Structure 1
Amino acid sequence: MGWTWKKEHLDVILVPSGLLIMFGYHLYLLYRYLKLPHTTTMGHENNSKVAYVERTMQIDVRDRGQALTVITTNISTATTLSSISLVLSSLIGTWLGNSTKTIFTTYLIYGDTSQSIMSIKLITLLIFFLIAFASFIQTTRCFVHATFLLTMPDAEVPASYVETAVIMGSNFWSIGMRALYFAVTLLLWVFGPIPMFVSSVVMVGVLHNLDSDSAPLHQFRPVPSRSVLKNVGEEMAAVGRAVQQLGRPHGN
């Protein structure tokens, strides 16, 4: 008996291929982020954040309100995304518990529509939403810790401590966002292996464009403030007046 092609075989071919493309790209991105950070957008963002923390730590604790506002905004966004991920996880869990054959699994899908495959789709989707939820929670934890360090009164806090907390929060943020990107492709798998594979290829192309940055890392040098320039001008004027007084002829 010869081998017969069935539409169920598409799930065996296209779904692992799509996941392999996604995982392969992110392993490549991880290598660039660790070894060649100046070629990635995340490396440039971390460079900016380190410079921001260093400049913030140079001012008085009472004048760090703007920095706290920036971190608080990131905390609010991470909390919102973690809540959304948890809600979607709950909905998928409910769907998984009550899943039955519907019009989506009988007529509109070209692929395997068995109940076991449908359960695998929902379970993998649930896993990535839970990963996103956990990552955004850790993002909030790191940024809250950075807030405590920035507002610690009457204490010398090394800038490296705050930088580590901010960078760790940013890394967890990136993991959470990548988990959501994976969840998008797996969500399209619910409608068949072909949409899932196509979305994986398109997603990698878009992410490669967004994650690449060929510009050199900017060196954030401090700009002379107006008060410093004013003081320098006043000192030069005072020196000029003193020179004029010394140059005047003295009367008998």
Structure 2
Amino acid sequence: MEVKYLDFILVPLGVLVLGIYHVWLLYTIIRYPSRTVIGLNAQSRYQWVFALMSDPLKNGVLAVQTIRNNIMASTLLATTAITLSSLIGVFASNDTEESKLIYRNKTSLNSSIKRLCISVCFLVAFLCNVQSIRYYAQAFYLSIPLVLWIYGPIPVFACCCLTSFALYFLDTTTQITQDLHTKSFKEKVSEGVEAP
């Protein structure tokens, strides 16, 4: 296979690996939510809100502080994403000779397209942070392979595979994790210390 076609094969293949992983994750969240960290967090939030609503006068400040902290975290991450996007724009306007790292071919896709993809990723992260704190992590995980795309298609493909593998362990749970999570939450509620 000619080297110039690696961008057209490995980059879409890497993105396909990440796409398949996210389709599997969505299916698992819908069908078996307790097998994922997202499902356990949803159950915990439900129980936490229920505990807060049982005595709103006592727990009202805690609820407001939690919402404020989420808004502040989202604002910080949105600012980070838009700053990174701006820095990539400055980097893209600089037409100096690019350095070789792992693989670089003059026939590979134009680096401005690569920088545009990275900028779009960070802009999506910015929009997601503006909307909700829940979606920021997935947009930032996708940006790692896009940054590596500057150095060629082989690092992109390797990073997509490694990212999917890492996300699997971050997003799924075991029976031990589920038991510890449930036991920990029940103990905190019985002691009068509520936590999301």
Q: TM-score range by the shorter chain?
A: 0.7 to 0.9
Give the corresponding residue for 1:223. 190
Aligned length: 185
CA distance in 1, matches of 2:72, 2:155: 33
Give the corresponding residue for 1:167. none
Residue 88 of structure 1: which of 84, 88, 97 is its match?
84
Give the corresponding residue for 2:156. 196
For normalisation by structure 2, the TM-score amounts to 0.84
**Pairwise CA RMSD:** 2.3
Percent identity, aligned pairs only, is 30
Q: Does 1:184 align with 2:144?
A: yes
1:144-201 per-position Cα deviation (integer Å, ceiling 9, x unaligned) = xxxxxxxxxxxxxxxxxxxxxxxxxxxxx34221011000111011111111111111
What does 1:58-207 correspond to in 2, within 5 Å?
58-61=54-57, 63-96=59-92, 98-104=93-99, 107-113=100-106, 117-139=110-132, 173-207=133-167
CA distance in 1, matches of 2:143, 2:3: 23
Q: CA, structure 1 residues 114+67, in 2 after alignment: closer, same or farther (shift >3 Å)?
A: same
CA distance in 1, matches of 2:35, 2:191: 30
Give the corresponding residue for 1:51. 47
Q: What runs of 5+ residues in structure 1 fail to find an aligned partner?
A: 140-172, 226-252
Q: Which amino acid aligns with 1:39?
A: R
For normalisation by structure 1, the TM-score amounts to 0.66
Q: CA, structure 1 residues 54+13, in 2 after alignment: closer, same or farther (shift >3 Å)?
A: same
1:194-241 per-position Cα deviation (integer Å, ceiling 9, x unaligned) = 11111111111111011111335738666387xxxxxxxxxxxxxxxx
Q: What runs of 5+ residues in structure 2 fail to find an aligned partner?
A: none
Q: Which amino acid aligns with 2:97?
A: T
CA distance in 2, matches of 1:193, 1:42: 31
Q: CA deviation at 1:67?
A: 2.4
Q: Which amino acid aligns with 2:135?
A: I
Structure holding more helix per residue:
2
Higher relative contact order (CA 8 A, sep 6+): 2
What does 1:18-37 correspond to in 2, within 5 Å?
18-37=14-33
